[in-house]
Amino acid sequence: MEPVKIGIIGAGNISNSYLRGAARSKLIKVKAIADIRTEAAQAKAKAFGVEAVTVDELLSDPEIELAVNLTLPMVHADVSHQIISAGKHVYSEKPLTATFAEAGLVMEAARAKNLRVGGAPDTFLGAAHQAARAVIDAGRIGKPVGGAVTFMTRSSAHRYANPSFFIFKQGGGPMLDMGAYYLTQLINLLGPIKRVSAISTNGIPQREVVQGPLTGAVIDVEVPTFYNGVLEFLGGANVAISMSWEVHRHRRSHMEIYGTEGSLVIPDPNFFGGTPQIAEAGGDWENVDISAYPFGTPNRVMDDGRSEADYRMIGVVDMAMAIRHSRPHRANGDMAMHVLEALEGFEQSSVEGQHVAITTPCARPAVVPQGADEEVFDA
C-alpha cells in the first residue's frame, strides 16, 4: 500500500516534532508544508526533504488527503475550515480551536462533507499510557474511585520567543496550554467527563520574558495562572487537578489513580514513555512493564539531558490508517472537543461558583494493540 500523503500548514517550532515523526513512518508521507511566512516553510522543507508550497497550493493538491493544522491557536478554526472546504480531512494541534464554540462549527462543517477531524494530543497512545490503561482494564486496582493530577511550574515563558498568547493573554494560561494532555489521558483511562469545578487565581499579575528577542520585557497577565479543580467522570471516579505557573518546586506526581484494590502512578502525559507504578492492596510499589506496547522507547534528548519518548504524529498515522480501513480513529475530534469544553468549564466554574456539566458526547478511545511499531495501526 502506498503511504497516505499529507500536508502540514504551519512551520513553527512544533512542526519539527511532526516532521520527525512523519520521517519515521512508512504509512504516511508529508508531501508539502506551507506557512504564511514563506521562508519558514522553505527552511522546514529543506531540512526534512519535503516541498514548500503556498497554503492554496497545498489545499488544491489532489494527492494530499489529510492536512495537519499547526498554526497558532487563534486561527485554528479558520484554517481547519479552509482545509475542510478543500475536501480534506484535518488533524489539529491542540487546542482543537481557540474556543469551544468554534470547535462545534468545525465539527459541523466536517460532518456535512463526510470528512474526519482529529486532534492532539496523541501522547495517550504511547506505551506507558496504554500499559497503565491495561492495568485498570484488568481490574488490578479494582474500581477507580479517585485520583489526582498535577502540572505545576514557574511558568513556561522561557519556552517561547513571544509568550504573550500562549502564556499570559486571553486564550492562554496553564489550563488551556497544558491541560489537554492530562484530560485526554484521563479519558483514555477513565472514560468521558461528567462535570468539572474549579477555583482559579492570578497571584502574579506581571511577568518578565526570560528568553528570546523580548527578554526583559514585562507582560501583563490577563488569565488565571493557578487552578485547583475537580473532575467527575461518568464512571463515578472524581479526580483533583492542579495546574499552575506560579510554583517553583513541588513533590507531587504527574498523575495518580486510586482504586478499591490499589493505586496507580502514571508518567508525564506530555510524553509517550516512562514507567507506571502499581501498588496493589497491602503491597509495595512495583514497576509496570511497558515493553509489549509501541512508542515507549526514548528517542529524544531534552535540553536538561533527560531522554524522553516523543512520537508526535502517531495520532495522524492512526487517523490515516483508520480512513484506509474505515474504522474510528483514536485521537478524534469528538474527544478533542470534549476536552476543550471541560477546559473552558474550569474557568466558568470559578467565575460562576458552581459545577459545570460537560455536554458533548465522547467515547473512550480504542486501546492500542500490542506490537513493536506503527504497524499496529494498519488494521
Whether the Cβ atoms of residue 19 and residue 48 lie closer than 8 Å to each other: yes
Burial of 45 from C-beta contacts in 10 A (0-12 / 13-18 / 19+): buried
Whether the Cβ atoms of residue 88 and residue 115 lie closer than 8 Å to each other: yes
Per-residue pLDDT at 58: 98
Rg (CA), the chain: 20
- Of the given ranges (203-212, 236-245, 251-260, 281-290), which has the lowest mean pLDDT? 203-212
Kindly state the cell numbers that stand for 99. Answer: 474556543
Burial 313-340 (b: 16+ CB within 10 A, else e): bbbbbbbbbbbeeeeebbbbbbbbbbbb
Q: How far apart are CA 158 and CA 164, in angstroms?
A: 11
* Reported confidence tier of residue 161, pLDDT bands at 50, 70, 90: low
Per-residue pLDDT at 212: 74
Q: How far apart are CA 50 and CA 55, in angstroms?
A: 14
Mean of pLDDT values over 192-219: 87
Domains and CATH numbers, the chain: 4-119 (3.40.50.720), 124-307+329-357 (3.30.360.10)
Cα 29 to Cα 22, 178, 319, 350, 371, distances in angstroms: 6, 28, 13, 44, 22
* Partners of 229 in the β-ladder: 198, 241
pLDDT in tens, 49-94: 999 999 999 999 999 999 999 999 989 999 999 999 999 999 999 9
Mean of pLDDT values over 357-364: 97
Mean of pLDDT values over 109-126: 98
Cα 342 to Cα 43, 202, 349, 360, distances in angstroms: 37, 20, 10, 10
pLDDT in tens, 280-315: 998 999 999 999 999 999 998 888 888 999 999 999
Task: With 0.85 as the threshold, say if the pTM is over it.
Answer: yes
Burial 225-247 (b: 16+ CB within 10 A, else e): bbbbbbbbbeeebebebbbbbbb
- Looking only at the bridges linking them, the beta strands covering 117-119 and 89-92 are parallel
* Reported confidence tier of residue 108, pLDDT bands at 50, 70, 90: very high
Three-class SS of the chain: CCCEEEEEECCCCHHHHHHHHHHCCCCEEEEEEECCCHHHHHHHHHHHCCEEECHHHHHHCCCCCEEEECCCHHHHHHHHHHHHHCCCEEEECCCCCCCHHHHHHHHHHHHHCCCCEEECCCHHHCHHHHHHHHHHHCCCCCCEEEEEEEEECCCCHHHCCCCHHHHHCCCCCHHHHHHHHHHHHHHHHHCCEEEEEEEEECCCCEEECCCCCCCCCEEECCCCCEEEEEEEECCCCEEEEEEECCCCCCCCCCEEEEECCEEEEECCCCCCCCCCEEEECCCCCEECCCCCCCCCCCCEECCCCCEECCCCCHHHHHHHHHHHHCCCCCCEHHHHHHHHHHHHHHHHHHHHCCCEECCCCCCCCCCCCCCCCHHHHCC
Whether the Cβ atoms of residue 38 and residue 52 lie closer than 8 Å to each other: yes
Mean of pLDDT values over 269-284: 96
Q: How far apart are CA 162 and CA 264, in angstroms?
A: 38
Residue 36 C-alpha from the chain's centroid: 24
Q: What does the longest C-alpha to C-alpha distance in the chain come to?
A: 62
| Residue 159 pLDDT greater than 60, yes or no | no
Kindly state the cell numbers that stand for 223. Answer: 488569565
